[in-house]
Amino acid sequence: MLPFVLEKARSAEEAIERAAAGARYIAGGTTLVDLMREEVERPERLIDINTLPLSGIREEGGELVIGALARMAEVAADADVQRLQPLIAESLIEGASPQLRNMASIGGNLLQRVRCPYFRMLDVGCNKRTPGSGCAALNGLNAGHAILGTSDHCVATHPSDLAVALVALDATMRVRGPQGERSFPVEDLFRLPGDTPHLEHTLLPGELIVEVRVPGSDHSRRARYLKVRDRASYEFALVSTAAALVIENGVIRQARLAVGGVGTKPWRLRDCEAALAGRKPEKRVFEEAAKLAIQGARPLQHNHYKLELLPRTIVRALELTGEVA
Amino acid sequence: MTVNVIGNPLPRVDGHAKVTGSARYAADFNQPGQAYAVIVSATVGLGRITGIDAKAVQQMPGVIAVISHLNAPRLAYRPHKAGVDPAVGERLHVLQDDRVRFYGEPVAVVVAETFDQAERAAAALRVTYTAERPIVDPSDPKSQPIVAEATLRPEAFVHADTSRGEADRVLAGATIKVDTTYDIARENHNPMEPHATVAAWKGDRLTLWSKSQYVVNERAEIAAVFGVPVENVQVICPFIGGAFGTSLRTWPHVTLAALAAMQTKRPVKLVLTRKQMFFTTGHRPRTVQRVALSVTPDGKLTSLIHEGAGETSRYEQFIEALTSATGHMYSCPNARTRYRLLPFDTGTSVFMRGPGEASGIFALECALDDLSYAVGIDPIELRRRNEPRIDEGENKPFSSRSLMKCYEAGAERFGWSRRNPKPRSMRDGRLLIGMGVASATYPAWQSPASARVRLLASGVAEVEAAASDMGPGTYTSMTQVAAETLGLPMDQVRFSLGRSDFPPTPSHGGSWTMASVGSAIRAACIAVQEMVAARAIADQRSPLFGASLDGVEWNEGRLRRRGDTSAGQPYRDIVARAGRPIEADASTQRDPEVAGRYSMHAFGAVFAEVAIDPDVGTIRVRRALGTYGAGRIVNPRLAKSQCTGGMIGGIGMALMERTALDLRDGRPVNAHMADYLMPVNLDIPELDAHFVDEVDPHVNPLGVKGLGEIALVGMAPAIANAVFHATGKRVRNLPIRIEDVLTA
Amino acid sequence: MTPTDPHSLDPLSLKKGAAEPSDETDARLRVSRREVLQLAGGAASLAAVPGAWAQTPTSPGSGPAAATRVRLTVNGEPQHLDIDPRQSLLDVLRETLDLTGTKKGCNQGACGACTVLLNGKRIVSCLTLAAMQDGASVETIEGLAKGNRLHPLQAAFVEHDGLQCGFCTPGQIMSGVGCIAEGHARSPEEIQFWMSGNICRCGAYPGIVAAVADAAGRA
Ligand SMILES: Cc1cc2nc3c(=O)[nH]c(=O)nc-3n(C[C@H](O)[C@H](O)[C@H](O)COP(=O)(O)OP(=O)(O)OC[C@H]3O[C@@H](n4cnc5c(N)ncnc54)[C@H](O)[C@@H]3O)c2cc1C
Ligand code: FES
Ligand code: FES
């Protein structure tokens, strides 16, 4: 780990000012400390933002508001979250481990870095880590990599489970920067790698995630998060699906679908949603819609199975929404 | 009347130390003034070092030394080999030349005042190389199998070729047969405790607090490497945080720790990173195998062919018993085995829990399962019809063999009769259910061992042996043996292990610790008793004065005349009168004559039930049972733990574990605890281990066969067979993952 | 063809009996025991001196680039430490305070061996920067027993044999204490789910689950 200077944030303004000047925020540190130890991350200055009052979870007019510093475990256990958006709680407890969830913040979770093993290897090319150095995963071992949204420069998946749920639920986020505050859909936080995979998100220099807001909607009740993996816990998703359905008179009025483990960012599936709308909630319909998910997918040498696993996971997740009480 | 402690399910004597954090493992032995060493690992898979820019690093904060082949002393590397080392080849000489033999080979070690400084400096060290493409995969056209020289020796534990009858001819003419191939991934032991050594020199004397399953050999090896007398080295390792074979050999990092301490004249702590544990500390070799079988319509085997090859390094020929069990598992007039090595540009493989058998039995037992479907006979019945009366490979009787007893007891407990033999016929709701079974076996070895017992005037018996306890409960079971033999309560016996100056024992592996060290301790206890008795008999003040040696017995810390129910004499009085502790050493080994007469193995039957999600392909073991005939069980509580633990290792092997190499440079890509999957708590189903009664008068005086290895053998094929039963799809590669069954 | 043991020693001859302890043996054993005791005592007393280990001998110019002062309460005892901001809480416990009960299994958050309670919650100490925890209270395995009386979960681990090699055990137990406190120990299935952040390579899981269930039932 490279030496760094650690400061405690005394106010949001001050923190933002420092960050705009090049310092990095640190919250739970479960991404940052890990990668700093590997020297993949090399911040010279860290601002400990845990002193800032950004950890509240509350309901505001049917909208669920989650502070950026709320911990994964707190959010998952929160009564409002479980009542209003059980999908979020489910996506959270399927991620990481109880200990990590006690540490990891919501803001940090959205900004966690990829788990591509080559990203951590300083002795191979990685355009995300070192722009222009190549992508070792393209012709390396890539069973865990993305099939959607990839480019010739990067094929790493976005690892967050929570982000998949938030994107499905049309969540927005409020951020604050040197120029003041702005809000935008969580989906817009993430960038496709294109030929600039080192640019992962759309935050401007110094911008601090303040909170995430999840609008109340009819989707919330019939919503499930399904995470498929070889180990029953403590593993990132091979494929995951956040699915939510609004059913009226035996017909799907609206569907929400987002998937993880397959895209270079949390992947919303609007075509599939459209294909479900107005149809009966039955397996055949689910299967037809799920097929659309792999349109345009680009498998790599070792991840062809995701072409098969992705639609099946979607179908199963849709079925599970029917099992919600 | 003796205190019956052997066979009692006593709790661990070291439990208190382990649950309070006071049990000290290698890296816990902080020394005053200690510096920290971090290894720099090669980043090419084959080639030469062309430059090391140590200057810049030397100036970094806290850095004390940067040691590489450019400035390391030429070490003696005197010839030295133990049984844990491959018989053919020469160990890696670390930092002695500019060659890089495999990805991750140590190329330098950096020593600094603090860990963070050393880690930083190691990362900053710039090393340049010329690189070639290594060969690391059996599919590489340049990979050529070779005959391991040691397998040509008649006394070898695995043979290059064995044959009885005419297996190939019979197979060719057979109508009911299977002919199948298997590919098992490389596995890394991944104990929870990383390899660690704290090294301190005092003049020309070296102390190593070092993770080792074989402290006496670690001492001898390091003495040979540094060219110092063996007595100058002391290795201390009271606790091992799991090892499973990876700490049998003394790997280069131990040399590097000692070297760093020597060069800096400071005590040095060196702990491998989790990633480095995938480079230089051995692995279960990747294996490729073929098994072909034929049967008569009524299920009698007519031919059996088992061929296999395992990876090793280019500089050492590591061999394991891949095909050894095939000769004695089943009765078959025509059988042939072949074992080869695949030398790769990697570090040397090493024994890993159930070495050889775990992989070889997987292939054999899967093929047998295939055959059961081909001939239409229940898999257990098929094995029963081919149960041999003697070891047909060695042409010797078994000292004992309870395989069919295991199947019978296991089938009953597991509810095998509820199994519908048809593949893909059993369901639980949406889930596909499969039940599978497989045999397990492992040799009942015993190795020469020694021990010391010292009786103190306080009434306590101190027992010492250079043995290890990586988790099976050596501390407890040896205390039991001593307590029972001496007729003392458990808390009057203090057993110490893990010091190289204690009486030598064999490596803590091969499931032979109980048999080997237990026998030595028993012998030492008997010897010390005789010494005490002799003193008492010769002592006019003793109530035993004048008795014959045969005429005294030992009970609850007292000697008395045989048959006499009176108190007798507390031995502590006898010791007190001697004025000093009374001590005896003993060494034991298996009677070579008995060893030559019998074929000695433990056997087991392993049952597994899996549930597979037909939609998303997740495979979960729902319940499993291992039934074992392993001789006498010294401590049923610990034995059960050990067996279920081994079964969990088998679940990992079956469904998760694989060290994946990037063929471009041979690097293990998933050298990370989050990427090399091993079972977590939620993966573990209802597990049961059961022991059938087995009395084996031949194996050793304790009648024990060992459990550590056999507990893992058999689990993976039972699961693979259950996966086939559930899905109708036969997966012949390990691990079996979602992607393998998705389209079943 | 007699198979020989694959890793056997040179055959030792069976010698039995008469070895009375020589003075040499005795002296050696006494010395080594004293060494061990002194070391443990030495480290403990150093740790008790504020900042003592942070100023362990450093070579010229290597002084902690920007030593940070932190106050921690570790197992109820206040500690004032000057540390390198890079130090993880785990390394501060193990290397600075010589509280080696907490283990380093991966240093990457992926095994749970380093689990401690931080302000009452279970966390992995390897990914926790100690410098960020000024004023925090930390509980480690060393602080769990009250004198000679084991914490009920410690006792349950022994009773249910929830351990083999013991290396994951401190982390399992601290995690188990957290798990019970969170109310996540109401059934074996629940315990399995909520204890999956602690890998046990020995496979002591059945005993671990039984121990946590037992202690939770008594709590
Ligand atoms: C072994 C392991 C397994 C894991 N498994 C999973 C899993 O299965 N599913 C899953 O979803 N995640 C998983 N994770 C990832 C974990 O959830 C993230 O590391 C965690 O959520 C990051 O949060 P943090 O608060 O610790 O972030 P930090 O490490 O503190 O920060 C991460 C990044 O976010 C930035 N940041 C933090 N807060 C803010 C803010 N308010 N505004 C602006 N920028 C900010 C930081 O500057 C940094 O760049 C796993 C992690 C580990 C180590
Ligand atoms: S050492 Fe902290 S999780 Fe492994
Ligand atoms: S007891 Fe050995 S790792 Fe858990």
Instruction: Give me the pLDDT at residue B743, please.
Output: 83
CATH code: domain of residue C174: 1.10.150.120
Q: Which of A121, A143, A168, A138 is nearest to A229 (CA)?
A: A143
Give residue-wise pLDDT tens across range B155-213.
Answer: 999 999 999 999 999 999 999 999 999 999 999 999 999 999 999 999 999 999 999 99
| Distance of CA B271 from the midpoint of ligand 2 (Å) | 14
**Chain B residues closer than 8 Å to A140 by CB:** 662, 664, 669
Cα–chain-centroid distance for residue B15? 22
Q: Cβ–Cβ of A100/C124 closer than 8 Å?
A: yes
Domain-embedded: residue C74: yes
* Chains adjacent to A (≥3 CB pairs closer than 8 angstroms): B, C
Instruction: State ipTM.
Output: 0.97
Instruction: Give me the pLDDT at residue B727, please.
Output: 98
Domain-embedded: residue B411: yes
Residue B498 gets the label, from left (phi > 0), alpha (psi -120 to 50) or beta, of left
Domain-embedded: residue B5: no
| Mean pLDDT to the nearest integer, B39-48 | 98
Give residue-wise pLDDT tens across range A179-196.
Answer: 999 999 999 999 999 999
Query: Distance (Å, rounded) from C-alpha B153 to C-alpha C4?
Result: 11
* Chains adjacent to B (≥3 CB pairs closer than 8 angstroms): A, C
Query: Distance (Å, rounded) from C-alpha B682 to C-alpha B686?
Result: 11
Structure tokens at B307: 């061929």
What confidence tier does B594 reach under pLDDT thresholds 50, 70, 90? Answer: confident
3-state helix, strand, coil in chain B (%, to 5): 30, 25, 45
What is the distance in angstroms between the CA of the first residue and the CA of the last residue of chain C? 61
Q: Cβ–Cβ of C197/A100 closer than 8 Å?
A: yes
With a CB cutoff of 8 Å and minimum separation 6, the contacts of A155 are A116, A135, A137, A138, A142, A145, A146, A193, A264, A300
User: Same domain, yes or no, for B302 and B378?
Assistant: yes
What confidence tier does B415 reach under pLDDT thresholds 50, 70, 90? Answer: very high
User: Same domain, yes or no, for B100 and B205?
Assistant: yes
Domain-embedded: residue C16: no
Q: Which domain holds residue B543?
A: 15-22+447-589
Query: Distance (Å, rounded) from C-alpha A241 to C-alpha A323?
Result: 15
Query: Distance (Å, rounded) from C-alpha C126 to C-alpha B327?
Result: 49
User: Same domain, yes or no, for B682 and B721?
Assistant: yes
User: Same domain, yes or no, for B439 and B452?
Assistant: no
What confidence tier does B561 reach under pLDDT thresholds 50, 70, 90? Answer: confident
Instruction: Give me the pLDDT at residue B195, please.
Output: 98
Name residues contacting ligand 1 (CB within 6 A).
A 24-32, 34, 49, 68, 95-96, 100, 103-105, 107-109, 111-112, 159-162, 208-209, 236; B 674; C 109-110
Instruction: Give me the pLDDT at residue C35, please.
Output: 26
Domain-embedded: residue C139: yes
What confidence tier does C48 reach under pLDDT thresholds 50, 70, 90? Answer: very low
User: Same domain, yes or no, for B382 and B399?
Assistant: yes
What confidence tier does A325 reach under pLDDT thresholds 50, 70, 90? Answer: very low
Instruction: Give me the pLDDT at residue C44, please.
Output: 31
Give residue-wise pLDDT tens across range B345-403.
Answer: 999 999 999 999 999 999 999 999 999 999 999 999 999 999 999 999 999 999 999 99
What confidence tier does C52 reach under pLDDT thresholds 50, 70, 90? Answer: very low
User: Same domain, yes or no, for C150 and C137?
Assistant: no
Query: Distance (Å, rounded) from C-alpha B477 to C-alpha B7?
Result: 10
User: Same domain, yes or no, for B617 and B576?
Assistant: no
Q: Which of A113, A115, A279 is nearest to A200 (CA)?
A: A113
Instruction: Give me the pLDDT at residue C1, please.
Output: 34
Is residue A265 classed as helix, strand or coil in its secondary structure?
A: coil
**B559 against B227, higher pLDDT:** B227
Give the CATH number of domain A219-323.
Answer: 3.30.390.50
Domain-embedded: residue B141: no
- Domain-terminating residue out of B556, B589, B622: B589
Domain-embedded: residue C217: yes
- Domain-terminating residue out of C97, C119, C143: C143
CATH code: domain of residue C133: 3.10.20.30
- Domain-terminating residue out of C124, C143, C162: C143
CA distances from C69 to A33, A50, B113, C84, C135 (A): 19, 18, 19, 9, 11
User: Same domain, yes or no, for B475 and B544?
Assistant: yes
Residue B179 gets the label, from left (phi > 0), alpha (psi -120 to 50) or beta, of beta
Instruction: Give me the pLDDT at residue C37, please.
Output: 27
Q: Which atom of ligand 2 is nearest to the CA of A99?
A: 3
Q: Which of B653, B669, B23 is nearest to B363 (CA)?
A: B653
Beta-carbon count within 10 A of B693 CB: 11
Distance from CA of A123 to the nearest CA of C (A): 19
**Chain C residues closer than 8 Å to A29 by CB:** 127-129, 132
What's the domain count of chain C? 2
Give residue-wise pLDDT tens across range B122-169.
Answer: 999 999 999 999 999 999 999 999 999 999 999 999 999 999 999 999
Phi, psi of C115 (to 5 degrees): -60, 130
Predicted confidence (pLDDT) at residue C80 exceeds the cutoff of 90? yes
What confidence tier does C66 reach under pLDDT thresholds 50, 70, 90? Answer: low
Give residue-wise pLDDT tens across range C104-125.
Answer: 999 999 999 999 999 999 999 9
Q: What is the mean pLDDT of chain A?
A: 97
User: Same domain, yes or no, for B306 and B340?
Assistant: yes
Instruction: Give me the pLDDT at residue B549, please.
Output: 87
Architecture of domain A1-51: 2-Layer Sandwich (3.30)
Structure tokens at B645: 């633990």
Domain-embedded: residue B395: yes
Residue B126 carries which side chain, given as an amino acid letter? R
Instruction: Give me the pLDDT at residue A324, please.
Output: 56
Domain-embedded: residue C46: no
- Of B192, B247, B470, B642, best ligand 3 pocket probe by most atoms within 8 Å of the beta carbon: B192
Tell whether omega for the bond before B503 is within 30 degrees of 0, i.e. cis: no
Q: Cβ–Cβ of B667/A238 closer than 8 Å?
A: no
Instruction: Give me the pLDDT at residue A323, please.
Output: 72
DSSP assignment of B516-532 equals HHHHHHHHHHHHHHHHH
Distance from CA of A1 to the nearest CA of B (A): 5
CA distances from B500 to A173, B217, B363, C12, C125 (A): 62, 8, 39, 16, 34
Beta-carbon count within 10 A of A287 CB: 14
Query: Distance (Å, rounded) from C-alpha A94 to C-alpha A235?
Result: 9
Predicted confidence (pLDDT) at residue B321 exceeds the cutoff of 90? yes
Is residue B439 classed as helix, strand or coil in its secondary structure?
A: strand
User: Same domain, yes or no, for C219 and C167?
Assistant: yes
Are A164 and A179 in contact by the 8 Å Cβ rule? The answer is: no
Instruction: Give me the pLDDT at residue B3, please.
Output: 52
**A110 against B567, higher pLDDT:** A110
Answer whether C158 touches A (CB < 8 Å).
no
CATH code: domain of residue B640: 3.30.365.10
Predicted confidence (pLDDT) at residue B441 exceeds the cutoff of 90? yes
Are B183 and B733 in contact by the 8 Å Cβ rule? The answer is: yes
User: Same domain, yes or no, for B273 and B358?
Assistant: no
CA distances from A61 to A79, A213, A214, B30 (A): 16, 11, 11, 58
User: Same domain, yes or no, for B42 and B120?
Assistant: yes
User: Same domain, yes or no, for C159 and C219?
Assistant: yes
With a CB cutoff of 8 Å and minimum separation 6, the contacts of C146 are none
Is residue B51 classed as helix, strand or coil in its secondary structure?
A: strand
| Mean pLDDT to the nearest integer, B514-526 | 95
| Mean pLDDT to the nearest integer, B662-670 | 98
What's the domain count of chain B? 3
Between vectors from CA B459 to CA B458 and to CA B465, what angle results, nearest 5°? Answer: 105
Are B496 and B463 in contact by the 8 Å Cβ rule? The answer is: yes
DSSP assignment of A194-247 equals TT-TT--B-PPTT-EEEEEEE---GGGTSEEEEEE-SSSSSS--SEEEEEEEEE
Distance from CA of C77 to the nearest CA of A (A): 23
- What DSSP element (H or E) covers B225? helix B215-226
Q: Which atom of ligand 1 is nearest to the CA of A26?
A: 30
User: Same domain, yes or no, for C99 and C167?
Assistant: no
Beta-carbon count within 10 A of B551 CB: 15
Query: Distance (Å, rounded) from C-alpha C8 to C-alpha B504?
Result: 12
With a CB cutoff of 8 Å and minimum separation 6, the contacts of A270 are none
User: Same domain, yes or no, for C148 and C131?
Assistant: no
Query: Distance (Å, rounded) from C-alpha A297 to C-alpha B559?
Result: 82
Pair type for strands A267-268 and B47-53: unpaired
Q: Which residue of chain B is at minimal alpha-carbon distance from C140? A: B21
- Domain-terminating residue out of C143, C169, C189: C143
Residue C167, Cβ density class (10 Å: 0-12 exposed, 13-18 middle, ≥19 buried): buried
Q: Which domain holds residue C108?
A: 66-143
Give residue-wise pLDDT tens across range B487-509.
Answer: 999 999 999 999 999 999 999 99
Answer whether C136 touches A (CB < 8 Å).
no
User: Same domain, yes or no, for C116 and C74?
Assistant: yes
Domain-embedded: residue C212: yes
**Chain C residues closer than 8 Å to A27 by CB:** none
Between helix C205-218 and helix C169-182 the angle, nearest 10°, is 40
Instruction: Give me the pLDDT at residue C55, please.
Output: 32
Which pTM value belongs to this model? Answer: 0.94
Question: Closest Cα to atom 11, ligand 1: which residue?
Answer: A160
Domain-embedded: residue B137: no
Domain-embedded: residue B3: no
